[in-house]
């Protein structure tokens, strides 16, 4: 019964948000017909505009356009790009692996280092690792990610000339992944420190210390599961954007991922790509939340 309710709620949210996405995309200034004529340097005649408008189905009422699109979307037909004519689903799916490598790899690596750094900071408050975690957190929150990316490119490609970023997609992907990991670790390490300190003041840790156990050992032994639950709960939002939230690093490092594809599609006013991308990200977020909820449920020993 609970599963059925959740499924109905999710499906209702899916269709409501899909309609909002559809309307939102059409509020972008400009239109794909004019953009296509400009891109291919074709005359903006009345005949050309009318022909392309009818060809794209933009002459139909909005409710009809939405119904046609959403019915075909759930059937696996995401339409074709207005500008290139290529299959939207194929274009998005083939770019996902690069974005997923950068986003998911960066978040997992950053979460791992945040856990370690948070534990080390909690073991000795006001110690070296506590100060290091505070400095990293301040740096990540103060310096925009694109400035960090540009500085890394300048340092490695221009100053030291050890890596040619724009001619080596592997090197660019690794650097982008590390920058995402740095941002994730900087945002989460202080959160993990707070959770470990909170665990340190719980009664069962206090009584275990009275029996002669060391505080740092108890934090890792008895506080591991609660800390992991807190880490997963905190990282849900991060996991949700691993595919679509890497636009900055993809743009700076010129990585042909799905986030950069979205930026280019917005500039081209390509409705089919933008709205399909947004709905694809919505599906991904639903999957991520379901997996994280399951992991949290298992870590709690089956207790909701």
- Output the pLDDT for position 204: 76
Calculate the dihedral angle through the C-alpha atoms of 170, 292, 109, 155, rounding to the nearest 10 degrees. Answer: 60
Instruction: Give CA–CA dist 195/209, Å, rounded.
Output: 18
Which residues of the chain does CATH 1.10.3720.10 include? 99-302
132-176 pLDDT, tens digit per residue, is 999 999 999 899 888 999 999 999 888 888 888 888 889 999 999
Is domain 99-302 annotated with CATH 3.90.1720.10?
no
Residue carrying structure tokens 């490695």: 156
Label residue 244 by pLDDT band (50, 70, 90): confident
pTM confidence score: 0.85
> Is 79 within 8 Å of 69 (Cβ atoms)?
yes
Q: Residue 178 pLDDT > 90, yes or no?
A: yes
Q: Residue 113 pLDDT > 70, yes or no?
A: yes
> Is 190 within 8 Å of 118 (Cβ atoms)?
yes
Give, in order, the Cα–Cα distances in Å from 189 to each of 23, 102, 181, 226.
Answer: 39, 20, 12, 15
Which segment of 27-41, 204-218, 262-276 scores lowest on mean pLDDT?
204-218
The b-or-e profile of 286-304 (16+ CB within 10 A means b, else e) is eebeeebeeebeeeeeeee
Q: Residue 266 pLDDT > 60, yes or no?
A: yes
181-194 pLDDT, tens digit per residue, is 999 999 999 999 99
Which segment of 67-81, 104-118, 245-259, 287-301 scores lowest on mean pLDDT?
287-301
Tokens of 262: 């979205």
* Among the listed residues 137, 119, 163, the one whose alpha carbon sits nearest the alpha carbon of residue 253: 163
Label residue 1 by pLDDT band (50, 70, 90): low
Residue carrying structure tokens 């794209």: 56
> Is 275 within 8 Å of 22 (Cβ atoms)?
yes
> Is 249 within 8 Å of 149 (Cβ atoms)?
yes
Please state the separation of Cα 71 from the chain's center in Å: 26
- In terms of Cβ atoms closer than 10 Å to its own Cβ (0-12, 13-18, 19+), residue 5 is exposed
- Output the pLDDT for position 303: 46
In this structure, how many other beta carbons lie within 10 angstroms of the beta carbon of residue 26?
A: 16
* Among the listed residues 109, 240, 114, 104, the one whose alpha carbon sits nearest the alpha carbon of residue 186: 114
> Is 152 within 8 Å of 264 (Cβ atoms)?
no
* Among the listed residues 14, 17, 25, the one whose alpha carbon sits nearest the alpha carbon of residue 275: 25
Average pLDDT, the chain: 87
Tokens of 24: 């939102």
Residue carrying structure tokens 């993809």: 250
201-229 pLDDT, tens digit per residue, is 888 777 777 777 787 888 888 778 888 88
């Amino acid at each position: 019964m609970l599963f059925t309710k959740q499924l109905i709620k999710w499906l209702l949210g899916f269709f409501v948000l899909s309609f909002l996405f559809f309307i939102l995309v059409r509020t972008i200034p400009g239109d794909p017909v004019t953009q296509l004529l400009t891109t291919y340097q074709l005359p903006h005649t009345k005949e050309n505009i009318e022909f392309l408008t009818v060809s794209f189905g933009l002459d139909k009422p909005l409710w009809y356009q939405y119904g046609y699109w959403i019915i075909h979307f759930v059937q696996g037909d995401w339409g074709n790009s207005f500008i290139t004519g290529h299959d939207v689903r194929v274009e998005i799916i083939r770019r996902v692996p690069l974005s997923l490598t950068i986003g998911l790899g960066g978040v997992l690596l950053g979460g791992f280092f945040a856990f370690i750094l948070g534990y080390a900071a909690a073991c000795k408050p006001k110690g070296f690792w506590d100060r290091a975690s505070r400095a990293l957190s301040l740096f990540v929150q103060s310096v925009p990610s694109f400035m960090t990316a540009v500085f890394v490119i300048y340092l490695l490609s221009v100053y030291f000339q050890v890596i040619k970023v724009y001619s080596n997609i592997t090197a660019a992907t690794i650097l982008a992944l590390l920058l995402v990991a740095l941002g994730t670790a900087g945002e989460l390490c202080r959160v993990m420190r707070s959770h470990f300190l909170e665990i340190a003041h719980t009664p069962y840790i206090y009584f275990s210390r009275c029996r002669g156990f060391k505080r740092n050992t108890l934090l890792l032994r008895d506080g591991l599961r609660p800390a992991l639950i807190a880490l997963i709960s905190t990282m849900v939002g991060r996991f949700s954007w691993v595919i679509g939230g890497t636009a900055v690093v993809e743009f700076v490092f010129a990585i042909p991922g799905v986030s950069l594809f979205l930026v280019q599609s917005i500039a081209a006013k390509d409705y089919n790509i933008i709205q399909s991308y947004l709905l694809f990200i919505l599906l991904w977020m639903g999957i991520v939340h379901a997996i994280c909820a399951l992991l949290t449920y298992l870590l709690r020993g089956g207790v909701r």
